[in-house]
Amino acid sequence: MTQTRKRAVFTFLIWGVAMAAFSVIFFYGAGPERYALEKWRRLAGAVIIACGYLFYGLMLFLTRIRPGDHAVGRDERDEEIRNRANASAFILVLVYVFALSIILWEKFQGSGFVPVGWMWFLAYSTSFAAFISSSVIALILEFKASGHGQG
C-alpha cells in the first residue's frame, strides 16, 4: 500500500469517527438549539476534535518516510494526486459551507435568527468535511491511477 493510500485511508477513518462522534453529541438531547447552552456538550465537541487532530498528527508521524527506507516513498504521481485531491476538496468544502448556510437560512428565516449551536456545527463539520473529502478523492484518484501509472 502506498503512503498516499495509507494516509488517505487513515485520514478517512480518523475524521469519519470524529464526525460521527461529534454528530451524536451535537444532536443528542435538546439538539442543536441547546448545544451552545450546554457546556458539557461543547466540551465533548472540543475533546472530539482535539482527539481527531491528535490522532491525525500521530498518523502523519507514524506514516512518514524514514531515512533508509527501501520502499519508494513519494513520487510525482503521489504529489499530483495529493494536489488534485486538495484542490477538489477545497471546492467541495466551499459548496458544503454555502449549501448548509443557505439551508439554515431557509429553515430559520421565519424566526429571524439561526440558533448559535448551528454555527458550532458549521465550524466543526467544515473541518471534518475538508479532511474526509480530501482523503476520499485521493483514494478515488489513486484507484483510477493504479495499474497504468497515470494520474
Domain assignments of the chain as residue spans, ordered by start: 3-145
Residue 31 is given by DSSP the state -
pLDDT band at 4 (very low <50, low <70, confident <90, very high): confident
Q: What's the predicted TM-score (pTM) here? A: 0.85
Q: Is the pLDDT of residue 24 over 80?
A: yes
- Looking at residues 118-122, what average pLDDT do you find? 95
The residue type found at 46 is A
Task: Give the pLDDT of residue 147.
Answer: 62
Round to whole Å and give the CA distance between 30 and 32.
7
Torsional sign, CA 76, 77, 80, 85: negative
The alpha-carbon radius of gyration of the chain (Å, integer) is 18
Q: How confident is the prediction for the chain on average, in pLDDT?
A: 90
Round to whole Å and give the CA distance between 26 and 93.
20
Task: Pull the grid cell for residue 133.
Answer: 473529502
pLDDT band at 151 (very low <50, low <70, confident <90, very high): very low
